Amino acid sequence: MGFINYIKEEIDVIRERDPAIKSNMEVFLYPTFHAILRYRFAHRLYQNGHYFWARWISQRTARKTGIEIHPGATIGKGLFIDHGTGVVIGETAVLGDNVTLYQGVTLGGTGKEQGKRHPTLEDNVMVSAGAKILGSFTIGENSKIGAGSVVLGPVPANCTVVGIPGRIVKKDSIRIPRNDLDQVNLPDPILDAISELQKENRKLQKELNMLKEAVKEA
């Protein structure tokens, strides 16, 4: 794809997904446009082994736009970052086509992995403002991550995830009852704590009943 055609494609993507834009010229004012354009150039340098210059471009871009995309990340067509301040995309992240990210999104690692450390987002994934996806796993195509969610494990295709840690609340447009959620693959420390409190309460109730019986007998 030629440079001019690429710019036209980016203008179309941004205008399609941001109703606030009234003209093509406004696109050139968007940090998103410049961040993605510079990422493409830095990524090519990175692939050719020019790591210093690739990182130099990405770090200058981060300071100017507030969007930090590591040049090693693999990003498909049609990426749209709305506003974009605080967006971070890690080195081994892989994004499919037509992915949408909102401000404050982090596609990061846990600090405990080697090699592939960052998430893979398949086609048409949408990640809402402030969401964090941490680790090397896959978010299936057409899935949506709710604002402020923290996702620590894989998500199948066509799902909606919300909460901390992220919980699947819809799959294939069907709401999932809370008691049907898999607590092994989607750990929930709050529910675990409540379960422990319930166990302790039952134990204390049993001991109290035993004491009452002993007092009666005495």
pLDDT digits (tens, 9 = 90+) for 12-28: 777 777 777 777 787 78
Taking the C-alpha atoms of residue 34 and residue 40, their distance in angstroms, rounded to an integer, is 10
> Rounded mean pLDDT of 121-145?
91
**pLDDT band, residue 191 (cuts 50/70/90):** low
Helix%, strand%, coil% for the chain, nearest 5: 40, 20, 45
Among residues 87, 48, 84, the alpha carbon closest in space to that of 70 is found at: 87
- Give residue 165's pLDDT band: very low, low, confident or very high (50, 70, 90): confident
Predicted confidence (pLDDT) per residue in 169-183, tens digit: 777 766 665 444 443
